[in-house]
Chains A and B, each alone.
Chain A
Amino acid sequence: MIDMSPSLVLVVAIGALFISGVYLLLERSLTRVLVGFILIGNGVNLLFLVAGGAAGGPPIVGTTASEDMSDPLPQAMVLTAIVITLALTAFVLAMAYRSWQLHGHDEVQDDLEDRRIVRLAAKNAPSFNDLDAQEDTESIDEQAAEARDETGRDDA
């Protein structure tokens, strides 16, 4: 029975990749989201290696004794996952570029429901005292409602 305890370095690396990946996924810019996705993707690949147990010899009959072999299955799965991640990365990059072409930014926009709520909030904003509104004559809510209003539709 081979030693199944995973390498500590791998575990720490997985944690670091996931943490930074999740942080980037929360960004508004699609490019940063993509970088976050790539980081987590690599974290998952390492997770698969850990899932396969400790490192061993190449899993070829005749080269390594069967108890010293490393597990080939997670490596095959990682290979598939890498290919899929690569393809999707290319697609999202193209989409971010297209978004930049069309809008001049690559923000992942709020959805329609969110924007409706923002607009409702903007309507209600005068009813309470907003510190920002005093400096700027416009409240943050109003700015937000204008900045992201590209629905071209009046929902009133």
Chain B
Amino acid sequence: MSDFLWLVPLPVVMPLFAAGLTLALYRHPVAQRIISVVALTLMVCAGTALLVLADNGAVVVDIGGWAAPVGIDLVADRVSALMLTVSSTVMLCVLLYSLGQGITDGDEAAPVSIYHPTYLVLAAGVSNAFLAGDLFNLYVGFEILLAASYVLLTLGGTGERIRAGSIYVVVALLSSLIFLVAIALVYAAAGTVNLAQLALRLPELDPGVQLVLQLLLLLAFGIKAAIFPLSAWLPDSYPTAPAPVTAVFAGLLTKVGVYAIIRTQTLLFTDGRLDTLLMWLALATMVIGILGAVAQNDIKRLLSFTLVSHIGYMLFGIALADRAGLGASIFYVTHHITVQTTLFLVVGLVERRGGSTSLERLGGLAKIAPGLAVLFFIPAMSLAGIPPLSGFLGKIGLLQAGVQAGTPLAYTLVVGSVVTSVLTLYAIVKAWNKAFWQTPPEPIPETRLPFSLVGPTTALVGLGLLITVVAGPLYSYTDRAARTLLDTDAYVDAVLRPDGRGSGESADEPSETDGVTESAPGAGETSGGGS
């Protein structure tokens, strides 16, 4: 197994390296495109390989040859490997789509030469957040992806994007500050930021201190994941970006927040004191989010609100905190990354074909572009949870887990999720009727959709269908992933037991919480951490 350790840092290091290359080659757009596609394809390969490797236990790499408590390490267990694979696949499809858009539009006024480096840095940040083995590395991953997202969101610097961007940037900066404060307090309280060591040390702390730390971390991740009271920034900032950028944001950025919540809730705060609160938040996120979607007249904003709403489902699974709930939650994240990205790409096509995203101005698309109608219909029905698509399977899993939990609140949430599901269907059908069926209020311009855009979108729709087809094996994988999450001892063992992984053990261990550590560089180092 140690032969494959170099795979773990690959998804972080390679896009960063490729970003540097593309930045250097800014005068050669063709070379930029080739490099980005190759880098992301390799990421997908590395993710898939890790998916198989991690099924036999977490793969841990010590960066720089210092073992766990002292050094920085990257951990790929089942959950992070699955996230990594899905996210890099989606990013590859979106990249192909944006290439198609760039080619057909000709290189416009927008500074396209920085698009590829920024996109690759975003990919690196997302991977780093998924693989991070300590809180500070998680913070760095978040900052990398956020900094890239600021640039992508304000690309071109038009008035509307600057307006939306400034809201987004201020909110994101605030959440990062809260996260940083949380890290400082965690370090002050426990003397470490390594997740595995925190899993051992946090339970020994005063319950009040634990609660403060848990709330601060939840607050920071909740803003990033757009959980209800903290979600107001999202529907306003996402729709202004270019279609591929919105798609990748909608698919990935909030899910990184959800992943961070899953990781910290299951590993660090196992006593489940906030589970009731999380349940209420999940209910509010679902219902209020979808009510916002129902009220919208712009299809992009409508989708942004459904994005907020469906974060509630994932939170529901996390709040249940048992194997069934977590498994269903991870499955739902996988499904939702694919479907939400697809829908935003399809809406990009709708905008191109129909000339607008306002439901007042669109119409009759089913007749003039039947292929587009099919491309919209499949992921939309999956989002609404119509059987037999993947959204239905994810929701059924969550409902089963909720019924299994059997508390009154869990039953309320089950009812809430069914209602949300129906309302999602209503919002989607409304959009469908107006955009595809009503007679167009103004004549639709004659344009053809280039294959370079339709191709990647079709591929993503196919990926969504594939998730439905392989739902059985995938569900058993997410179920095993949930078991890994609940088995914190295994995680701690994998990270902290240095059987031949180097010996960065601190000399004055573990009773002292002052964090002063003396250590020797890894003697029996086998991992060769870097690229």
CB distance from B360 to the nearest CB of A (A): 9
A122 within 8 A of B: no
Would A48 and B184 count as touching, CB distance under 8 A?
A: yes
Q: Are A99 and B297 in contact (CB under 8 A)?
A: no
B166, CB-defined interface residue at 8 Å: yes
B177 touches A1 (CB 8 A): no
Q: Is the CB of A95 closer than 8 A to any CB of chain B?
A: yes
Q: A66-B518, A71-B516, A88-B173 are in contact. Are A95 and B235 (CB under 8 A)?
A: no
In the bound complex, do residue A44 and residue B180 qualify as a contact, i.e. CB atoms below 8 Å apart?
yes
Residues of the A chain whose Cβ atoms lie less than 8 Å from the Cβ of B147? 84, 87-88, 91
Complex: how many Å from CA A41 to CA B139? 14
Residues on A with C-beta less than 8 A from B236 are 111-113
B167 touches A111 (CB 8 A): yes
Interface check A118, CB cutoff 8 A: no
1/0 per residue A59-94: CB within 8 Å of B?
101000010011101100100110010011001100
Whether B162 contacts A95 by the Cβ 8 Å rule is yes
Nearest-CB residue, chain A, relative to B173: A37
Please measure, in the bound complex, the distance between the C-alpha atom of A13 and the C-alpha atom of B292, giving whole angstroms.
43
Residues of A near B157 (CB, < 8 A) are 98, 102
Chain A residue nearest in CB terms to B301: A112
Taking a contact as CB atoms under 8 Å apart, the answer to whether B181 and A109 are in contact is no
Q: Does A50 contact B (CB under 8 A)?
A: yes
Given A1-B512, A88-B147, A80-B181 contact (CB < 8 Å):
no
Write the nearest CB–CB distance from A105 to chain B, whole angstroms.
11
By the criterion CB–CB under 8 Å, are B170 and A108 in contact?
Answer: yes
Q: Which of the four size classes fits the interface of chain A? A: 35 or more
A153 to B357, CA, bound (A): 12
**A51 B187 Cβ-Cβ under 8 A:** yes
Report the minimal beta-carbon distance from B140 to chain A, rounded to whole angstroms: 7
CB contact under 8 A between A71 and B167, given known A51-B184, A111-B236? no
Please, which residue of chain A has its CB at the minimum distance from the CB of B518? A66
Which A residues are CB-close (under 8 A) to B166? 30, 95-96, 99, 106, 108-109
| B473 interface residue per 8 A CB criterion | no
One of B154, B177, B297, B508 near A95 (C-beta < 8 A): B154
- Chain B min CB distance to A51 (Å): 4
Given known A2-B516, A53-B514, A92-B169, contact A77–B232 (CB-CB < 8 A)? no
Bound Cα distance A4, B514 (Å): 8
Closest to A77 in B: B136
A84 to B301, CA, bound (A): 31
User: Which of B185, B187, B517 is packed against the most chain A CB atoms within 10 Å?
Assistant: B187
Nearest neighbor of A106 in chain B, beta-carbon distance: B166
Chain A proximity of B256: nearest CB distance (Å): 17
Contact with A along B128-157 (1 / 0, CB 8 A): 000000001000100100010011001001
Residue numbers in A under 8 Å from B163 (CB-CB):
99, 109, 150
Residues on A lying within 8 angstroms of B by beta carbon are: 1-2, 4, 25, 30, 33, 37, 40-41, 44, 47-48, 50-53, 59, 61, 66, 69-71, 73-74, 77, 80-81, 84, 87-88, 91-92, 95-96, 98-99, 102-103, 106, 108-109, 111-113, 150, 153, 155
B residues near A, CB below 8 A?
136, 140, 143, 147, 150-151, 154, 157-159, 162-163, 165-167, 169-170, 173-174, 177, 180-181, 183-185, 187-188, 193, 232-233, 235-236, 292, 297, 301, 358, 507-508, 512, 514-518
Q: A2-B516, A41-B177, A53-B514 are in contact. List 14 more A-B contacts (CB 8 A).
A: A4-B514, A25-B174, A69-B516, A73-B515, A77-B136, A87-B147, A88-B147, A95-B154, A95-B166, A99-B166, A102-B157, A108-B167, A108-B170, A109-B163
19 contacts across the A-B interface (CB closer than 8 A): A2-B514, A2-B516, A33-B170, A44-B184, A47-B184, A47-B185, A51-B185, A59-B516, A61-B518, A66-B508, A71-B516, A77-B136, A84-B147, A95-B154, A102-B158, A102-B162, A109-B167, A111-B233, A113-B236
